[in-house]
Structure 1
Amino acid sequence: MSDTDLASVLAGARVMPVLTVPSAATAGPLADALAAGGARCAEVTFRTPDAEQVLKTMAAHGGLTVGAGTVLTPEQVDLAVAAGARFVVSPGFDEAVVARCGELGVPVVPGIASATELMRALRAGLDTVKLFPSEPLGGIPMLRALAAPFPQARFVPTGGIDAYRMTAYLADPAVLAVGGSWMATAAHLERGEYEEIRRLTAEAVQRSAT
């Protein structure tokens, strides 16, 4: 699945909230807050027992394109797509996950942390990958080191990125979009701080457009 397909699904969004949502009860208000802040897409990670229901609820929200993150198995791909996921994100490169996404016609963004993994992804017909965990790996210097010998690759860096680091990543032509959890953390959700989520999302969207 090419970056053209993924870019179409993301509808031009360049910042993607990455969400770990403990309770499905917060999914509706969270979707409202993100959409009100101008977010066009979001990634719901499969890290909590309620993740499938959260994804289903948020996917039904008309203002967001929702994908599934932390997808580790083909079985999770099936669950995610059945719940309404429009794209799939994985922390690493797994041939079975990529193959299942291909069978279902769903864009997939596998994680890579080395040139070897990037070569495997390119060989599988993918030209968009998730650099993860981006900041611990070396941040923008690491991204540029990987992009130089592979000009056909596009990156969605995620991991340790905040509102300030985001701008520098987005300035690099190899970056399609940036993922981050700072806009809607578990603490925000626990305290019901949906207005703060809206504010942080709006700030990120505005920064990504400059």
Structure 2
Amino acid sequence: MSLLTPREILSAGAVIPVMAIHDLDTAVDLAHALVEGGIPTLEITLRTPVGLEAIRRIAKEVPDAIVGAGTVINPEQLQAVADAGAVFAISPGLHPTLAEAAADSSIPLIPGVATPSEVQLALEFGIDTLKLFPAEAVGGKAMLKALYGPYADVRFCPTGGITPATAPDYLALPNVLCVGGSWLTPKTAVQNRDWASITKLAQEAAALKTA
């Protein structure tokens, strides 16, 4: 897949599913189910032992997916996910060492921020497309509205505590490109390989963009 900008990545769908894959054998089918439902941008977290291999398999076998890595917290992980085929990386936070590594990386980093100072740190390194995390815990929509004043050119993917009921209000904000959520991949549905249910959840999430 050709190199996409962070804003193209986040604008491809209304919701980015935050996916902690425990069973590697479900990874490719799960990705196919989400893409079929209209959710192409996937965040595979490194919170599980098979996360990196899941990225590698999905990148190879699901060509229509925009595969990214989540929970990337240091330069070594950033390099590893790029080597595995991820086309973007998301981190829960930001520090100068990671920002410097991102400047030299072959894939874009979308770092997490929770305060104006962290937004300014990101901007200092030329990063203006961010993840607000943990969104609900740090003020949610009110925080995003407040940040829009001084940082009108910055765009966000709020993640953390967002539900199908609250997502439309976030998506209506001028500085929000999409939201992150874990509700698209219910553990029971994945364990049961109920891909039809996951595709239906993806279709409902994709429809939020035009709601």
Task: Give the TM-score category using the shorter length.
Answer: over 0.9
Q: CA RMSD in A?
A: 1.5
Letter in 2 for 1:191: N
CA distance in 1: counterparts of 2:149 and 2:125, whole angstroms: 20
CA distance in 2: counterparts of 1:107 and 1:98, whole angstroms: 10
**1:196 aligns to what?**
197
**1:19 aligns to what?**
19
Q: Which runs of 5+ in 1 are unaligned?
A: none
**1:38 aligns to what?**
38
Helix, strand or coil at the partner of 2:78: helix
Q: Which runs of 5+ in 2 are unaligned?
A: none
Tell me the alpha carbon deviations over residues 131-184 of structure 1, each in whole angstroms, 9 at most, x when there is no partner: 000011121011111222111211110001111211111111101221111001
Size of the aligned set, in residue pairs, is 207
The change in CA–CA distance for 1:82 and 1:105 in structure 2 (over 3 A counts) is closer
Helix, strand or coil at the partner of 1:43: strand
**1:140 aligns to what?**
141
Helix, strand or coil at the partner of 1:163: coil
CA distance in 2: counterparts of 1:36 and 1:151, whole angstroms: 34
Amino-acid identity (%): 38
CA distance in 1: counterparts of 2:196 and 2:89, whole angstroms: 28
CA distance in 1: counterparts of 2:181 and 2:11, whole angstroms: 18
Helix, strand or coil at the partner of 1:49: coil
CA distance in 1: counterparts of 2:192 and 2:109, whole angstroms: 33
**2:68 aligns to what?**
67
The change in CA–CA distance for 1:167 and 1:53 in structure 2 (over 3 A counts) is same
Preserved contact between residue 14 and residue 208 of structure 2 (Cα < 8 Å): no
TM-score by length of 2: 0.93
Letter in 2 for 1:98: A
Helix, strand or coil at the partner of 1:169: helix
